[in-house]
Structures are given as C-alpha cells and as structure tokens.
Amino acid sequence: MMVETPTVLEHPLGQALPVQGKAPRVAVYTLGCKLNYADGLSIRKTFEDQGYEPVSFEEGADVYIINTCSVTDKADRKCAKVVRQALRYAPNAQVAVVGCYAQLRPDEIAQIPGVTLVAGTADKWRLPQLLPEGGAHRVVRRPIQEALDFVPAQSWGDRTRAFLKVQDGCDYPCSYCTIPAARGISRSDRMDSVIQRAKDLVKNGAVEIVLTGVNLGDFGKGKGDRDRFPQEPRQGLDALVRRLHQEVDAERFRLSSVEPNLLDEALLLAVKESPRFVPHFHIPLQSGSDTVLARMRRRYRTDLYRERLLRIQELFPEVCIGADVMVGFPGETDAEFEACKNFLDSLPLAYLHVFSYSERPGTDAMAMGEAVTNEQRALRNQVLTRWSLERERHFAETFRGRTLPVLFENEAYPGSKDSPSTMRGYTPNYLRVETVYDPLWAGSVVPVYLNQLVPGCTEVRWSGTIVA
C-alpha cells in the first residue's frame, strides 16, 4: 500500500524569473502514452492562458514541466535525466514534475536536484498558481481519492490523426498496475462535450479521430460517473460510437485499447453499424495462461478472450487485432509461458505489443511468487517479439495486390540521391503503407495499390502506388 505524503512542503531553493517585459516561457516534456501526451498539451494550455509563451525544450524556458509516467522503472529513471537536461538548457529555470510518478513517489522526486515543484494528479491542472514564489520548493500532493474531475485533453499524432481523451482513471484491481493509484477512479467526459470536442477537431483538420482513455471500454460507467451522476441512465462506449457516427463528420474513427471483458456484443454491433469506425481492435491479453491471469487479477480468462476474438473475426472479416502481452510476471513458470505461446498461436492476432514485467513498489504482484530473472524476462520478450513480427508479416501478406484506402500523414520522409522522399500512412485495418511523397495527397485518404513489403526494414510496411 502507498504511504500518503503531507500536502504541502516548502523550503528555499533558487527560482527563475522571466526577463523583464517579456512573456515567461514554458516548455513541456511528456513521458509515456498518448493519453499522457494529450494531458501534457492541456497542461501547456493552462500556462498559455496565463500569458506564458510555449517554447521547445531546447530553446530554454523559464518553466519546465516534466509530465511523467510510471509504467516501468525505466520511466522513473528517465524523469531525473530529463530534469538534468532541462537545467542544461536553462540553469535557472523552475522545474515542475507532475504525472503518475509524481503522484506515486513525490518525496523521491523532491530529492532530484533542481526540481522546484512536485504536483500530484489532482493538482496538475493548476500549475501556474502553484509555482513557488520567492525561491521556494514545493510538493503538492493530495490523496488520489481527491482526483475526481475529468479534465478534457487531446493531441495530434501526425496532424491528420487526433487523439481524443474521453475517459481517465481505472476501477480495476490488476495486481501489477499502479495506474489506479496514480490516476484515480474511472471517470469520463460528458457525451455532449465529447461530440463538441470531436466536431472542433474536424474543423481544425482532423481526418481520423482516435478515442483514448486509461480504460476506454469503461466510458460513462466508471465509479466516478456513477458517483457524480447517480440518477442518469448509464450510457457507455457503444452509445458514444453511435452518436459520433451520426453527428461528427470525421472520415475515420478508431478505438484505442479496450479490455476484452468490456468489448461486448453491444459495442461490437455499434462499431459494425458505424462504417466510419475502422476494423482495428487493440485488446490487452497480458497472458495466455489462466493461472497467470488469475494472479494478475485480470477480469477474464482465455476462454472469454478467444470467444471475443472469434466473434470479432466473424463480424469484421478483414479486421486487424492486436494485443498487449506481459512476460516474466512473478512466478511465471516455463510451462505457463509455453501455455501463453500456444494460446497466442491459436488466435487470429495480427501483432503484439510485448512488455517485460517491471517491479512497481506498492503493488501486490511483487509478493506473488518467485521473481523471474531479468535474463528470462529478456529471453521471453525476444521470443514473443519475433512471434509478433512473423504474424505481422503474415497478416500483411494476405493483402498483397489489393487496393486499399490509406490516410497519408502530412510529413515527408527524406529520400536519398537514388530515391525520392516518401510519405506514410495507415489503411483502416492498420497496415502501414508508404509511397512517393506527393503534396497533393498528403493529409488525405487515397486508394493505394499494395505492391510489395519494404525489404530490409524492421517494421512491416507496404510500398504502394496511388491509383487515384
């Protein structure tokens, strides 16, 4: 269990002051997932609203915000590195550390030389008001139970795809995960607000909108939603999918990760009835061994996972389905890992995101059996990463010679003296495609004939020809 820290600590430390007459400058550095990135942009906006000028990290800012992640211990270590880097660019800057790591280990962060403000989850949206004055050093961290508001956030992937955060927090008890302790209970944006925000994104050029959340499938049904609006009938992600399709003019919508137990028939049918929702599902599995799933305290077992995937395949014949898998969970035996691999072999998956288990202080998993050695974790990770690459190639190959709509990014990838610049994009079912850069088609959806897989590259990517 986590130890709650005092709310406010202050002690003197050097403070940066903006140059007289000039707007103070702020730079935000975000670690972690797309959702955190969207939060980082919203935090930056709170500074812009107070008259700050946003600048890049390297330009030298008066205030640096490090928006942290705490999924692995690597993410924790990176925070200290980013603080050092910021102070190299601007030795007198104020450095505020926020985000998941700040909520979980505020005292640890306060020890990092140069950090002037540490703010937890409930307070990260009012940083301009919290920056310590007169050279103080401050830790503001309320218990996570006080993080009850939903704060909207969105970000741009490649200037054609927008990530729209519609849900935050999680009510689940997975034994290895710190997210409920770092981000709070599950709570969502109001349906009307999501629709309006999606319309605004389209007005600003979004061609594809990706719905994101910590536990997206829980949209509208979390503890936070039930507490705030107890009288309202619960409308979930299926209702949101239908309304977005009916009311918002985006060319494409995509769902980010949805837990298998929440990917129910109602949601699948809503996606099926809304053809602008693409046939791509990312469904966390974590382990293909039921005994490991039980220790992880996941809310499903392999039979439900398989049943959901087969149903999806039935409804969406050319669907792309991806999964997260974690290797090296405490006590994971060779037999359990083998069972996981056999289970994966039996599923219609197109790719995996493979993670090695990482010890997270305060989680129950740490006491759940003998630790798997780092060598074993790395080995198992390698085995599944190779498995994923083969599956991805195999999935991609089934589309050889087909013409599919591709949404190209605006950006050009520079060529060499023998080859022209290229542009890249995705088909609805998440095949990565590149073709010769043509400003006429950059940022739009165009039919592309898939010629061949790009040889000699580690990612699976089609080379194609525009047939418009």
Q: How far is the CB of 358 from ligand SF4 (least distance, A)?
A: 13
Residue 405, judged by CB atoms within 10 A of its CB (0-12, 13-18, 19+), counts as middle
Is the Cβ of residue 170 or residue 244 nearer to ligand SF4 in the bound state? 170
Q: How far is the CB of 297 from ligand SF4 (least distance, A)?
A: 8
Is the Cβ of residue 2 or residue 130 nearer to ligand SF4 in the bound state? 2
Which residues sit opposite 320 in a β-bridge? 280
Is the Cβ of residue 228 or residue 299 nearer to ligand SF4 in the bound state? 299
Is the Cβ of residue 364 or residue 411 nearer to ligand SF4 in the bound state? 364
The H-assigned helical ranges of 49-150 are: 73-89, 100-104, 106-110, 127-130
Rounded CA-CA distance 193/247 in Å is: 12
Q: E strands of 130-288, at which residues?
A: 136-140, 153-156, 161-165, 167-168, 187-188, 208-212, 252-255, 280-282
Which residues sit opposite 96 in a β-bridge? 65, 117
Is the Cβ of residue 217 or residue 279 nearer to ligand SF4 in the bound state? 217
Q: How far is the CB of 135 from ligand SF4 (least distance, A)?
A: 38
Please compute Rg for the chain using Cα positions. Answer: 23
Rounded CA-CA distance 322/87 in Å is: 40
Is the Cβ of residue 89 or residue 172 nearer to ligand SF4 in the bound state? 172
Q: How far is the CB of 325 from ligand SF4 (least distance, A)?
A: 13
Is the Cβ of residue 175 or residue 333 nearer to ligand SF4 in the bound state? 175
Q: How far is the CB of 183 from ligand SF4 (least distance, A)?
A: 8
Q: How far is the CB of 212 from ligand SF4 (least distance, A)?
A: 13
Q: Count of CB atoms within 10 A of residue 14's CB?
A: 12
* Main-chain dihedrals φ then ψ at residue 347, nearest 5 degrees: -105, 150
Q: Which of 250, 156, 255 shows the shortest CA–CA distance to 203?
A: 250
**Angle between the 265-273 and 237-247 helix axes, to the nearest 10 degrees?**
10
Cα dihedral 107, 109, 114, 116 in deg (nearest 10)? -60
Contacts with ligand SF4, residue ranges (CB under 6 A): 170, 172, 174, 177, 179-180, 214-215, 259
Q: How far is the CB of 177 from ligand SF4 (least distance, A)?
A: 3
Q: Count of CB atoms within 10 A of residue 353's CB?
A: 15
Q: How far is the CB of 333 from ligand SF4 (least distance, A)?
A: 22
Rounded CA-CA distance 258/161 in Å is: 19
Is the Cβ of residue 180 or residue 236 nearer to ligand SF4 in the bound state? 180
